[in-house]
């Protein structure tokens, strides 16, 4: 595995044109979507949310000590996410998160590392090194981290760096995190040097990228967050690596839990057209080379996400890989295929009115969150797809981003306390690859505990899950 560094990564003309076109297409949704659909979604939300508390987020999880700790120490989880008009519309929220750019004064500066994989392919890591107009960035780590933690961000699977990702990078920089974006082969300006794109749920490239990050920052804690369809890659990585993921914790914003079902579903034609356009951009760039192994003309003329994915990865063999059909492809790429192997806390932020993921009753595996102590679902009435814009009080710029950073700190604090406590047998707790690095210098800063408040969910003491690390590999 080799890495080379280049200067700040800029958007190409084609990528900028794609963003502008995507912005125009999603803007048109406000005209074509009728209010009746939105009213139907609101009625569904009110009927499904527990205890009738429609304004506040709902936490769905297995009772555990960590869940209780997060509810007590993550104030944003108890705050309502009720944006003002017109941002209460899910399509307007989706537009703002996916295609609304940051201002020139808020531009994020990136430095790119190209990493060569074992098979000769190349992926990119874009390190957020600063904010335009800010001379010095916050290199001071906030407790409980002894050094600035690395935040690995996995963007959506269609290769566009959205306004949501840029906003998360900015907030992370301001609060002492070190954000880095994982860019797939052939996307976002990363060159395609092999005739192979990354499959939807194939974590092999991500595994090597995490190894490089650990080599470069061996003493830093590592957290990860995925955006939208990028969750297919993160969830697959967590399931395949188990307790050897080297992550302290992870989070997914508007995740796609059931990949095959999502590709086979019928999105509204404007969303489908926009996503297909973004998927076809890297293919058209390397059309001549890809024509050796693919029917590029058929691929560029397809009219559905399922057809595009099937032509790109199924029905042909490449680089000593066997042929796959549609069913066998998803046996290897379904995001939750190894969900029982996940051994780090995973927070999933979803909204009832997500127009891209679809109806939560069919697209969200509620049974997983109710049975696994590692999965936590935060469900809001409004938010769109990766939206979660400011509430009516305007206290935060993006509610979900504030929740993510509070969650990362909360889990780190909880694991730090857990590490100090011996097991019930009296022997010291054995460390795993997912726990926080030990503090080498300095002392832990003492802070007054936040005031106690009522819990949105009730946990009985007799069925409370005692947090024990699982050793799956």
Q: In the prediction, which pLDDT does 463 show?
A: 45
Domain coordinates in residue numbering, the chain: 53-258+342-422, 269-333
Measured CA to CA in angstroms, residue 390 lies from 79, 397, 465 at distances of: 11, 5, 34
386-442: pLDDT as tens digits = 888 765 454 446 889 999 999 999 999 999 888 777 655 454 444 444 555 544 333
Q: In the prediction, which pLDDT does 136 show?
A: 60
Q: Positive or negative CA dihedral for 349, 351, 355, 360?
A: positive
Catalytically active residues, by annotation: 354, 385
CB-side exposure of 462: number of CA atoms within 13 Å?
A: 0
Residue 465 is given by DSSP the state B
> What 3-state class would DSSP assign to 149?
coil
192-217: pLDDT as tens digits = 999 999 999 999 999 999 999 999 99
Q: In the prediction, which pLDDT does 418 show?
A: 83
Residue 159 is given by DSSP the state -
CATH superfamily, with its number, for domain 53-258+342-422: Alpha/Beta hydrolase fold, catalytic domain (3.40.50.1820)
Q: In the prediction, which pLDDT does 341 show?
A: 95
One-character DSSP codes across 253-322 = ES----HHHHHHS---HHHHHHHHHHHHHHHHHTHHHHTTTS-HHHHHT--SHHHHHHHHHSSS-BTTBP
What number of other Cβ atoms are within 10 A of residue 445's Cβ?
8
Q: In the prediction, which pLDDT does 22 show?
A: 55
Measured CA to CA in angstroms, residue 414 lies from 76, 90, 95, 365 at distances of: 17, 34, 36, 26
Which parts of the chain have pLDDT scores under 50?
Answer: 20, 26-27, 29-53, 104-105, 392, 394-396, 425, 427-433, 438-473
* Cα 229 from Cα 223, distance rounded (Å): 18
* Cα 87 from Cα 96, distance rounded (Å): 9
Which two tokens mark 118?
A: 């074992």
> Which is nearest to 159 in space by CA: 298, 22, 354?
22
Residues 6+ apart with CB under 8 A from 149: 141, 176, 177, 178, 220, 221, 222, 223, 248, 408, 412
- Whether this prediction's pTM lies above 0.85 is answered by no
* Cα 92 from Cα 72, distance rounded (Å): 32
Strand partners, 150: 178, 222
Residue length, the chain? 473
131-185: pLDDT as tens digits = 876 656 555 666 677 788 999 999 999 888 998 999 899 999 999 999 999 999 9
């Amino acid at each position: 595995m080799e890495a080379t560094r280049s200067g700040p990564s800029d958007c190409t003309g084609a990528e900028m044109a794609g963003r502008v076109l995507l912005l125009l297409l999603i803007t048109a949704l406000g005209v074509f979507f009728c209010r009746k659909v939105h009213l139907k979604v609101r009625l569904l939300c009110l009927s499904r949310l527990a205890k009738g508390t429609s304004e506040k987020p709902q936490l769905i999880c297995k009772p555990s000590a960590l869940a209780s700790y997060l509810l007590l120490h993550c104030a944003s989880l108890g705050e309502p996410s009720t944006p003002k008009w017109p941002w209460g519309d899910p399509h307007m929220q989706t537009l703002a998160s996916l295609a609304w750019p940051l201002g020139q004064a808020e531009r994020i500066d990136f430095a790119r590392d190209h990493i060569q994989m074992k098979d000769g392919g190349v992926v990119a890591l874009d390190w957020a090194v600063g904010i335009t107009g800010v001379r010095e960035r916050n290199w001071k780590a906030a407790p409980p981290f002894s050094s600035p933690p690395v935040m690995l961000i996995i963007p959506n699977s269609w290769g566009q760096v959205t306004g949501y990702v840029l906003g998360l990078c900015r907030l992370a920089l301001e609060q002492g995190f070190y954000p880095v974006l994982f860019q797939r082969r052939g996307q976002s300006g990363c060159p395609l040097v092999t005739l192979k794109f990354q499959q939807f749920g194939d974590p092999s490239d991500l595994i090597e990228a995490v190894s490089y990050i650990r080599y470069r920052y061996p003493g830093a804690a590592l957290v990860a967050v995925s955006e939208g369809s990028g969750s297919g890659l993160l969830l697959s990585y967590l399931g395949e690596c188990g307790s050897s993921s080297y992550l302290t914790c992870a989070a997914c914003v508007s995740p796609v839990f059931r990949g095959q079902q999502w590709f086979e579903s019928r999105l509204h034609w404007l969303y489908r057209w926009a996503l297909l356009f973004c998927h076809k951009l890297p293919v058209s760039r390397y059309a001549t080379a890809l024509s050796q192994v693919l029917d590029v003309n058929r691929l560029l003329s397809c009219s559905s996400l399922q057809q595009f994915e099937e032509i790109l990865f199924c029905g042909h063999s490449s680089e000593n890989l066997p042929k796959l059909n549609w069913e066998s492809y998803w046996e290897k790429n379904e995001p939750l295929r190894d969900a029982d192997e996940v051994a780090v806390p995973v927070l999933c932020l979803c909204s009832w009115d997500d127009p891209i993921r679809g109806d939560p009753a069919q697209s969200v595996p509620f049974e997983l969150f109710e049975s696994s102590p590692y999965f936590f679902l935060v469900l809001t009435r409004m938010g769109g797809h990766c939206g979660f814009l400011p509430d009516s009080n305007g206290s935060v710029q993006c509610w979900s981003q504030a929740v993510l950073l509070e969650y990362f700190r909360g889990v780190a604090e909880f694991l730090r306390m857990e590490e100090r406590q011996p097991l019930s047998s009296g022997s010291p707790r054995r460390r795993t690859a997912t726990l926080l690095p030990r503090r080498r210098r300095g002392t832990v800063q003492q802070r007054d505990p936040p005031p106690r408040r009522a819990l949105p969910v009730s946990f009985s003491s007799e069925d409370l899950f005692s947090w024990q690390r699982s050793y799956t590999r």
